Structure 1
């Protein structure tokens, strides 16, 4: 089994990990109330998904 010949420096290690961050969640505007929600998810403000009500949300 192969072993590293030299210690990987912190700078080289962190350069490699620079793309490991968590991506921002893309948001869509609700067609019913106008608030922002995740794509393909029910709007938690009004309970609508794709133009019809699927949740009863009490305010």
Structure 2
């Protein structure tokens, strides 16, 4: 039967698990379209990134 070498205290277990929590997504309003998008990501509808046209815009949905 497997036996742990030492008991892990609840405090230490909690410190280890503190990084497992889900973080909130940081959306930001786009200055051109007014829609919310992820920061530092290309807007796939318009194809713009930092005021420059990077990709061709997708068709209307």
Instruction: Give the TM-score range, shorter chain.
Output: 0.5 to 0.7
Q: How many residues get paired?
A: 54
The answer to which structure, 1 or 2, has the higher relative contact order (CA under 8 A, 6+ apart) is 1
Deviation at residue 43 of structure 1 after TM alignment:
0.9
Aligned to 1:16: 15
2:7 is the alignment partner of 1:7: yes
Q: What's 1:50 paired with? A: 50
Q: Which runs of 5+ in 2 are unaligned?
A: none
Assess if the C-alpha contact under 8 Å between 1:26 and 1:38 holds in 2: yes
Question: With structure 2 as the length reference, what TM-score do the two structures score?
Answer: 0.58
Structure 2 CA distance for aligned equivalents of residues 55 and 5 of structure 1: 56
Shift of 1:5: 5.7
